[in-house]
Amino acid sequence: MKEVFIKTETINLDQFLKWSGVVLTGGQAKLMIKQGLVKVNGQVETRRSRKLFPGDVVEFQGQTFLVKGRSE
């Protein structure tokens, strides 16, 4: 599991995929999310504006990411 630190209290799912380097553009993130290829905390998530908080787990293409906050 890869830890990804965010600079804000929350981050949108599409922004997180781009921030973590999994996709190159927001458009790619939107498409992957819409197709149901992304899971958040074990559940398929199709809302690109889904807010992620520290402690959330994102799964995409066989990779798992743990959202970490600034102070962690």
Q: Residue 16, by phi and psi: left (phi above 0), alpha (psi -120 to 50) or beta?
A: alpha
Q: Is the pTM of this model over 0.85?
A: yes
> Helix H segments across the chain?
13-19, 26-34
3-state SS assignment for residue 52: strand
Domain ranges of the chain: 2-68
Token pair listed for 22: 């999994």
Binning pLDDT at 50, 70 and 90, where does residue 71 land?
A: low
Q: What is the pLDDT of residues 20-42, one digit of tens each?
A: 999 999 999 999 999 999 999 99
The yes or no reply on domain 2-68 and CATH 3.40.50.300 is: no
